[in-house]
Structure 1
Amino acid sequence: MFFKTVEESIELCDGQKDSYSTDPLLPSTPTQRTFDYVLVAHVVNDDTDQKAQRQRAFIQQLEKKKISVTRIVHDDKVFFGLRAPSEMFEDYQYLLKVSDSCNWCGDERGSVTQATRIRMVNFILQHTYINTGENLEELLMKHVFETMFCLHERKKQKDLKKKWARWSGLFTEQPFNDIKCYFGEKVALYYLWLGWYTKLLVPAAALGVLVFLYGLAFFNTNPLITEVCQSDIIMCPRCDKRCTVWQLSETCTYAKVSHLFDNEGTVAFAMFMAIWATLFLELWKRQRARHVSQWKVYDWCEEEEELILEIVNDPNCQPKQFRHSYLRSTLVLILVTLMLMLIIGLAHALVVFRVVAAPLMSEGKWDFIKDHANIVAVILGAVLHYLTIQIMTRVNRWVSLKLCDIEKTNSFAATERSFTVKMFTFQFFTLFSSLFYVAFFLGRINGHPGNYVRIAGWRLEECHPSGCLTDLFIQMAVIMLLKQTLNNIFEFTGPWLKNSLSRNHAKKLERKCGHCYRKACRDEQGRVEPCDICKLRDWLRNYHLANTDAFSLFNEYLEMVVQFSFTTIFVAAFPLAPLLALINNIFEIRLDAIKMVRLERRLVPWKTNDIGVWTKVLEVIGVLAVIANGLVIGITSDFIPRLVYRYLYGPCTNGSTQTHCMQGYINDTLSTAFMTHQAIKKDFGLEQMVLNGFNVTQCSYRDYRSDEDYALTSQFWLVLAVRFAFVILFEHVVVVCKFIVAWFVPDNPTQVKNDRMHDKLARLKEEIREMKRSKSTEV
Structure 2
Amino acid sequence: MDKYSTLFFSDGEKTIDFVLVYKNAMVDGTRLDYFETYIDNLLRTGLNIEVDPFTVDSSITFLKIHASDDIVMHFADLCSVDLACRNIYYRPPIPPSPKFMATPLIIPDEDSYLYRRAPDTFSKRLPTTITSAERIMIVYKMLCRTKFGNRRDQYGIPKLLKEKVFLSAYPLHDGPYEWTEFGKLTDRQLLVKFWGNIHCWYKEQPIILIEKYFGTEFAFYFAWLGFYVKMLMPMAILSVLCILYGAATITTSQNINSHEICTSKLILCPRCHYMHCKFESLKSSCLQSHVTYVFDNPATITFAIVISFWSTIFMEFWQRNQSVLQLVWNVKSLENETMLRPEYIENAKRMKYSPVTETNEPYINRRVICLGYTITLFSLLLMLFLVILGVLGVMIYRISVDMMLIRSSKDEIIIENTRVIAAVTGACMNATFIFIFRAIFKILALKLTNLENHRTQQEYDNSFIYKSYSLAFVNNYSAVFYIAFFKGRFFTHPGDMNVWTDLGGLGSDICAPTGCILDLSISLMIIMMSKIIVSNFTQVLLPILVDRYNKFKAKVEFTADLPLYEKEYFMPPTEQYFLVDEYLDMVIQYGFVVFFVAGFPLAPVLAFVNNLLEIRVDASKITQSYRRPVPKQSAGIGPWFGILQATTYIGVATNALVIAFTSNFVQKEIYRHSKDSAHSGFINTTLSAYATKDFEILSRSIKTPKICFYPGRRYDPDHEQAYELTKDFWFLLAIRFLVVLVFEHVIILLKGILAYAIPDVPSYVTLQLAVQERRNRELRMKALNEEYIENRRLMGYRDIFTPTQIS
TM-score (norm 2): 0.81
- Superposed, which structure 2 residues align to 1:76-475 within 5 Å? 76-94=59-77, 111-131=129-149, 133-134=153-154, 135-154=156-175, 155-221=186-252, 222-241=255-274, 243-301=277-335, 303=337, 325-364=369-408, 367=411, 369-452=414-497, 453=499, 454-455=501-502, 458=505, 460-475=508-523
Q: CA deviation at 1:29?
A: 13
AA aligned to 1:607 is: Q
- Superposed, which structure 2 residues align to 1:38-53 within 5 Å? 38-44=19-25, 48-53=28-33
Residue 558 to residue 240, structure 1, CA distance change in 2 (3 Å) = same
**Superposition CA RMSD, Å:** 3.2
Indicate the residue corresponding to 1:725 in structure 2.
738
Q: Which range moved further: 133-142 or 739-748?
A: 133-142
AA aligned to 2:405 is: M
Residues 1:665 and 2:682 are matched in the alignment: yes
**Matched-pair contact (CA < 8 Å) for 1:352–1:455:** no
SS in 1 for 2:674: helix
Indicate the residue corresponding to 1:34 in structure 2.
15
Take 2:711 and 2:7, find their aligned partners in 1: how far apart are those partners? 77
Residue 26 to residue 564, structure 1, CA distance change in 2 (3 Å) = closer
Counterpart selection for 1:696 from 698, 705, 729: 705
**Matched-pair contact (CA < 8 Å) for 1:104–1:296:** no
Indicate the residue corresponding to 2:122 in structure 1.
none
Take 1:122 and 1:108, find their aligned partners in 2: how far apart are those partners? 23
Take 2:15 and 2:260, find their aligned partners in 1: how far apart are those partners? 76
**Matched-pair contact (CA < 8 Å) for 2:6–2:564:** no
Q: CA deviation at 1:481?
A: 0.6
Take 2:518 and 2:23, find their aligned partners in 1: how far apart are those partners? 57
Per-residue displacement from partner, 1:206-230 (whole Å, max 9, x unpaired)? 1111211111112233221111122
AA aligned to 1:629 is: N
Per-residue displacement from partner, 1:597-650 (whole Å, max 9, x unpaired)? 111111121112211000000000011001110011011110011111111154
Take 2:460 and 2:41, find their aligned partners in 1: how far apart are those partners? 26
SS in 2 for 1:602: coil
Residue 546 to residue 318, structure 1, CA distance change in 2 (3 Å) = farther
SS in 2 for 1:148: strand
**Matched-pair contact (CA < 8 Å) for 1:225–1:255:** yes
Q: CA deviation at 1:149?
A: 1.1
Per-residue displacement from partner, 1:425-484 (whole Å, max 9, x unpaired)? 100011111111111110111221221423356352111000111111111111001111
AA aligned to 1:509 is: D
AA aligned to 2:272 is: C
AA aligned to 2:332 is: Y
- Superposed, which structure 2 residues align to 1:608-757 within 5 Å? 608-652=634-678, 664-676=681-693, 679-680=694-695, 682=696, 685-688=697-700, 690=702, 694-708=703-717, 709-757=722-770
Q: CA deviation at 1:323?
A: 7.6
Per-residue displacement from partner, 1:64-84 (whole Å, max 9, x unpaired)? 433332222210422222223
Q: Which range moved further: 438-447 or 363-372?
A: 363-372
SS in 1 for 2:423: helix
Q: CA deviation at 1:92?
A: 3.5
AA aligned to 1:153 is: D
Take 2:325 and 2:36, find their aligned partners in 1: how far apart are those partners? 44
Counterpart selection for 2:534 from 465, 477, 486: 486
Take 2:759 and 2:264, find their aligned partners in 1: how far apart are those partners? 56
Per-residue displacement from partner, 1:558-594 (whole Å, max 9, x unpaired)? 1111110011011111101001111111111111111
Residue 60 to residue 462, structure 1, CA distance change in 2 (3 Å) = same
Residues 1:509 and 2:561 are matched in the alignment: yes
Take 1:104 and 1:428, find their aligned partners in 2: how far apart are those partners? 43
Indicate the residue corresponding to 1:63 in structure 2.
43
Q: CA deviation at 1:232?
A: 1.8
Take 1:56 and 1:283, find their aligned partners in 2: how far apart are those partners? 53
Take 1:24 and 1:148, find their aligned partners in 2: how far apart are those partners? 20
Q: Which range moved further: 215-224 or 430-439?
A: 215-224
Identical amino acids, percent of aligned pairs: 30
Q: CA deviation at 1:423?
A: 0.3
SS in 2 for 1:648: coil
Q: CA deviation at 1:777?
A: 7.8
TM-score (norm 1): 0.84
Take 2:64 and 2:225, find their aligned partners in 1: how far apart are those partners? 35
Residue 53 to residue 253, structure 1, CA distance change in 2 (3 Å) = farther
SS in 2 for 1:673: strand
Q: CA deviation at 1:118?
A: 1.3
Residue 258 to residue 301, structure 1, CA distance change in 2 (3 Å) = closer
**Matched-pair contact (CA < 8 Å) for 1:323–1:410:** no
Indicate the residue corresponding to 2:111 in structure 1.
none
**Matched-pair contact (CA < 8 Å) for 1:440–1:635:** yes
